Structure 1
Amino acid sequence: MRHYYRLTDLAIEQILDLLDRAEHHRHNPRSETLARKEFVLIFLNPSLRTRASFEVAIRHMGGGVTTLGADAIWPLEAQPGTVMDQQQTEHVFEAALVLSRYYDGIGVRSLARGQSREEDLQDQVLASFMERAQVPVFNMESAMYHPCQALGDLLTVRDLLGGFKGRRLTITWAYHPRALPMSVPNSILLAACKTGMDVTLAHPPEFALTTGMMELAHAEVERSGGALRVCHDRCEALKDTEIVYAKAWGGLGRYDDPAREAEERDRYRSWIVDKDAMSRTRRAFFMHCLPVRRNVVVTDEVLESAASKVIHQAENRLHVQKAILEWLYAWNER
């Protein structure tokens, strides 16, 4: 049985095929691919684009959909072997099996809690659903990955630049008042490296991604023939780039000393994408996964400019998620 956990589990040929199918769905929005199938979308965290785009995608393809928020279900436990004498009322092991009896597919969003590094690195909620479910499970953003966003980002890059090989992308850290998860930067980094782009990852020294994630990224570069550099000088990182992808994320220090991590984050309030930052690029496009804090991550001027492609980027989520669902069920029904 096939699940969809992270984009880089797929071969590059499969990714390119998915992008082609997404382009098909852009121009042919309705089908009966999921006719007589029912899906449940479980959101343990808030969502606007992911929830709306998945609900519309499933309905456009002839399926039925139930959406359950965290307030609509029992608090879930995901750790195997735990003694459930605290807040959690139901284990994912039973929930996944029960939902498999009702539905043909399960979508799960469960973000990093930022309390236990081990728990977040293990992606325990998604891992437990995939282990026990008897129907396909698709990742609508987990502690470590946002594979639907990453595929939508690749479609946007292809729309803007016509391809990937050798094209320049800068992923830049941005200040945020909260220590956000690393799932989006992890995913766009791996996706860009896998497709052979020339990638610059810009962040203050205290806000590195995990060592394991960087090792995966370098391995993808070796296979694809792309390039990857890490830069702590924001201005240097933006020089001559073709796409500026801004994203805030918290430092790994939040697990051990949250107060210190917050102080370190506050020191870099100047890491905002403004007119001056964009002027250092090669007339670059601006991308962000949304939601975005205006005049914190990016200025109004940039967000409202012709260079900003965030709305197009968000629309592409609908098209790629249709391709993902099609891919899941074409294979699982063999």
Structure 2
Amino acid sequence: MNDSNITRRHVLVLGGLTLGVGAVTLAGPGPAWAATAGDDAAAVAGVELVPVAASPVAVLAKVGHAPAAFPRQLAVQVRHVDTDLPAGTQVAISYEPRIYSPLPSAVATVGTRRLRTTSAIATDPETLVTTCTITLAEALPAGSNPVVVVGTAIPVLYPRDLVAGPAEPTAAVSHKGTRPGGRKNLRPGRPEAFGEVATPWGLEVSGVWDRHEWADGARWYYYPARITLSSVGPGTAPVAAAFSVALDPQVVADVHIVGARLNDKTYDAGARLLSDTRTASLFETRWTTRAKLKAGDRLDLELKVRTRTVKGDLPTVKHPTVNLIDMGNHVTQRQTGRTTMSRRDSTWA
């Protein structure tokens, strides 16, 4: 029986905290705006775009590329300390649709107040870069400094989790009916924790379940009989595969690994018990093997589970879970969405 409920992980990985500032300039009286091209253009009218670059995410490309840093939110603050913003002011943010998803409705706020706006989304048919343009429906006095948010990084799972050559996220300000210029790159500084060139790798957890029955078959509890660890590559896992098995101590008395096969051949997995935790509500064992799985490898581990004699209903139950643990360099770990397996369909009361 296959696992029926898989917990999915996000592909994108938390990094450090950075904040960049660049200027977009406006010229001319009233709403007659002219933007000066260039990322570092000097501010003519005191308007600048400040990327909201907290908690950048790591985006993995193909082999031979270092993890790239992208902003978690497609957001920018429009600073205008000495300049009024007229109604019709537009902020256009362009982004890579393989990394970002637009909000159902773009948002602009001043403090805790949400501004009246309209927004539109368009995709360039040649570059496939998407642009969300938000238009302010109200004028703002100097110093309001609104924050505009149009989208957020999305979880992308294997096999689409490697994004080669992503488009740069950029922002620009203009007035309605004019072409925006002076685009500001929203990319944050690259955290050192993202490391240098590395080969992405990833593992999937699956398995076969058995079940213990009591009360003449009216009650039952699932537990893993076999755990399968599969490598999706392209790189080799940097450390030996390790995992935890969490079960209900009311039902399960002990767990042992009694056999292993690597790519359908008998294998000495060197399975070693790292820890054994027992409380009134949790029985958890943590295991390591000696297998650094290469792309395409499959390690099958056979478990022997000793169950207890259960009588009647249980007040509650700890659902069984198997999780990858201690797998090292998580920045370059591919997000397979299958690093955990669980069953939620036991019947105990």
Q: TM-score range by the shorter chain?
A: under 0.3
TM-score normalized by structure 2?
0.23
Q: Which has the higher strand share?
A: 2
Q: Radius of gyration: which is bigger?
A: 2
Q: Which has the higher helix share?
A: 1
